[in-house]
């Protein structure tokens, strides 16, 4: 049986079969078959709804030095900023008025934001916006820190695993970081009841199809509620400045594969995908994605959160970003919705109908 048919039937493959499947990137028939099935599954669990998450990039200070990242601590040319608590709350206020019901606080690993400061910010956001979900994306912390944020009200956590292969992880990160710790963080977050997002860059330097097979095996084992993937894009102040960017075609192929692997997963059409192709996010939706993450950060800081070169949406106000995305999503037959958009399994659980399979329709 062809690997794509086997994936559609079993929702997983062996390492060898994944490699065989990824060798077919570029094959039109396989790509279309995977996308068709991915869209069918996404419609089954989420209808034509596309969920929004308002992204607040609240600090670009970082103590880490991931080799691919424009805001890594070692980049002396990065112009650093951090938002005050008031500025963060202003972003939420603006976002709430625009209809956002999920806020994502993302930043580098900035020692200024101690656990006490984070807890204060989380509690204040949850107090002012009890009907909103709060997602954190602030890197690797101890179990105790994650526990405190969760108790303060954080609902979700995004921590891309970056690559599930040890050798590849070493090519992308300095000695003091480890894949084992990154994975442990993800399991800690899950055990604390967070809705968890993992993920990786497509086409990061040194990535092979064997590495991607490891990513699939790891994702199936972890079963995250969200998977963020986007093409690697070089940044001029990193050692990977002259490396080629990841391909849009392969990212779309992988979005479909991940939708089939984890049918109920929340899958963003990322800004990196939109940066590589003006129609990238629309193509992402057509490949099985169902989330977009417009920027709510203050316009004055947006260019400074420069993870890679030529990042889009750094000039617009939040309202323009939302308006633009709303039109783009509608142009391919979907609707941007304001709900907090929990993963399908959580929606079911909230509605206390454990046997129900048709989540979006009631
Ligand atoms: N510090 C947090 C962390 O490490 O999870 C969150 C911020 S980090 C900048 C968010 C994500 O940006 C990373 O997980 C990585 O996959 C992505 N990223 C960083 N540099 C990138 C690049 N050059 N191209 C595409 N994505 C990149
Ligand atoms: Fe820390 Fe990129 S190296 S956010």
Q: Among all ligands shown, which has an atom nearest to the Cα of 182? A: 1
CA of 314 to the centre of ligand 1 (A): 16
> 189-194 — which CB contacts under 8 Å span 24+ positions?
189/146, 189/157, 189/159, 190/222, 190/224, 192/143, 192/146, 192/147, 192/150, 193/150, 194/146, 194/150, 194/154, 194/155, 194/156, 194/157
Q: Any idea what the CATH number is for the domain that residue 193 is in?
A: 3.20.20.70
Which residues have CB under 6 Å of ligand 1?
A: 68-69, 106, 108-109, 137-139, 159-160, 162, 201, 230, 232-233, 235, 272, 307-308
Task: Tell me how far apart the alpha carbons of residues 83 and 76 are, in angstroms, rounded to a whole number.
Answer: 20
C-alpha angle 346-352-356 in degrees, rounded to nearest 5:
80
Number of structural domains the chain divides into: 1
Q: Tell me whether residue 212 is exposed, middle or buried, using C-beta atoms within 10 angstroms of its C-beta: 0 to 12, 13 to 18, 19 or more.
A: buried
Listed residue (182, 178, 205, 155) closest to 53, CA to CA: 155
Asked if residue 17 belongs to a domain, the reply is no
Asked if residue 15 belongs to a domain, the reply is no
Beta partners for residue 251, in sequence order: none
Asked if residue 331 belongs to a domain, the reply is yes
Q: For 158-193, what is each residue's pLDDT tens digit?
A: 999 999 999 999 999 999 999 999 999 999 999 999
Asked if residue 257 belongs to a domain, the reply is no
Does the pLDDT at position 307 exceed 50? yes
Give 63 or 358, the one with higher predicted confidence.
63
CB 205 within 8 A of CB 233: no
Q: How far is CA 128 from the centre of its chain?
A: 25
pLDDT of residue 343: 86
pLDDT of residue 316: 86
**Residue 203 corresponds to which tokens in the numbers above?**
């086409």
Predicted confidence band at 349 (pLDDT cuts at 50, 70, 90)?
Answer: very low
pLDDT of residue 117: 98
Asked if residue 14 belongs to a domain, the reply is no
pLDDT of residue 291: 98
CA of 101 to the centre of ligand 2 (A): 26
pLDDT of residue 345: 65
Atom number in ligand 1 closest to CA 158: 5
Task: Tell me how far apart the alpha carbons of residues 78 and 138 are, in angstroms, rounded to a whole number.
Answer: 18
Predicted confidence band at 344 (pLDDT cuts at 50, 70, 90)?
Answer: confident
Residue 172: which domain range? 48-247+264-277+289-352
Q: For 2-51, what is each residue's pLDDT tens digit?
A: 999 999 999 999 999 999 999 999 999 999 999 999 999 999 999 999 99
Helices (H), 153-192: 166-172, 179-191
CA of 307 to the centre of ligand 1 (A): 7
List the residue whose alpha carbon is closest to atom 4 of ligand 2. 108
Predicted confidence band at 362 (pLDDT cuts at 50, 70, 90)?
Answer: very low
pLDDT of residue 347: 52
**Residue 124 corresponds to which tokens in the numbers above?**
């204040």
Asked if residue 86 belongs to a domain, the reply is yes
The reply to whether ligand 2 has any atom less than 6 angstroms from the CB of 109 is yes
pLDDT of residue 268: 98
Q: For 105-116, what is each residue's pLDDT tens digit?
A: 999 999 999 999
Name the one residue in this structure whose structure tokens are 């599930």. Answer: 164
Q: How far is CA 7 from CA 18, 218, 228, 252, 355, in A?
A: 9, 16, 20, 16, 25
C-alpha angle 342-344-350 in degrees, rounded to nearest 5:
70
pLDDT of residue 346: 61
Does the pLDDT at position 123 exceed 70? yes
Does the pLDDT at position 218 exceed 80? yes
3-state helix, strand, coil in the chain (%, to 5): 45, 15, 40
Q: For 230-253, what is each residue's pLDDT tens digit?
A: 999 999 999 999 999 999 999 999
Name the pTM for this structure: 0.95
Asked if residue 35 belongs to a domain, the reply is no
């Amino acid at each position: 049986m062809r690997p794509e048919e086997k994936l559609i039937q079993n929702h997983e493959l062996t390492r060898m079969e994944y490699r065989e499947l990824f060798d077919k990137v570029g094959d039109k028939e396989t790509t279309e078959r995977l996308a068709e099935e991915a869209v069918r599954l996404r419609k089954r669990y989420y209808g034509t709804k596309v969920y929004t998450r308002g992204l607040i990039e609240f600090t670009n200070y970082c103590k880490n030095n991931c080799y691919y990242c424009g805001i890594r601590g070692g980049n002396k040319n990065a112009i650093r900023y951090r938002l005050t608590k008031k500025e963060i709350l202003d972003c939420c206020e603006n976002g709430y008025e625009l209809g956002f019901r999920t806020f994502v606080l993302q930043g580098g690993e900035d020692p200024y934001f101690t656990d006490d400061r984070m807890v204060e910010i989380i509690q204040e956001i949850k107090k002012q916006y009890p009907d909103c979900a709060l997602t954190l994306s602030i890197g690797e912390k101890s179990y105790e820190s994650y526990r405190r944020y969760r108790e303060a009200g954080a609902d979700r956590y995004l921590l891309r695993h970056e690559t599930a292969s040890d050798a590849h992880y070493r090519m992308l990160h300095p000695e003091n970081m480890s894949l084992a710790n990154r994975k442990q963080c993800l399991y800690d977050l899950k055990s604390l009841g967070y809705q968890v997002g993992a993920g990786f860059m497509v086409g990061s330097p040194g990535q092979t199809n064997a590495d991607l097979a490891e990513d699939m095996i790891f994702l199936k084992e972890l079963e995250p509620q969200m998977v963020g993937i986007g093409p690697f894009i070089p940044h001029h102040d990193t050692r990977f400045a002259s490396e080629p960017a990841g391909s849009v075609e392969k990212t779309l192929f992988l979005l479909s594969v991940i939708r089939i692997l984890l049918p109920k997963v929340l899958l963003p059409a990322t800004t990196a995908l939109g940066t590589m192709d003006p129609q990238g996010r629309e193509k992402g939706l057509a490949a099985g994605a169902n989330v977009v993450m417009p920027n709510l950060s203050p316009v004055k800081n947006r260019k400074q959160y420069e993870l890679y070169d030529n990042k889009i949406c750094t000039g617009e106000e939040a309202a323009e970003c939302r308006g633009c995305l709303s039109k783009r999503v509608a142009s391919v037959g979907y609707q941007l919705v304001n709900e907090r958009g929990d993963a399908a399994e959580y929606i079911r659980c909230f509605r206390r109908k454990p046997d129900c399979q048709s989540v979006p329709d009631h």
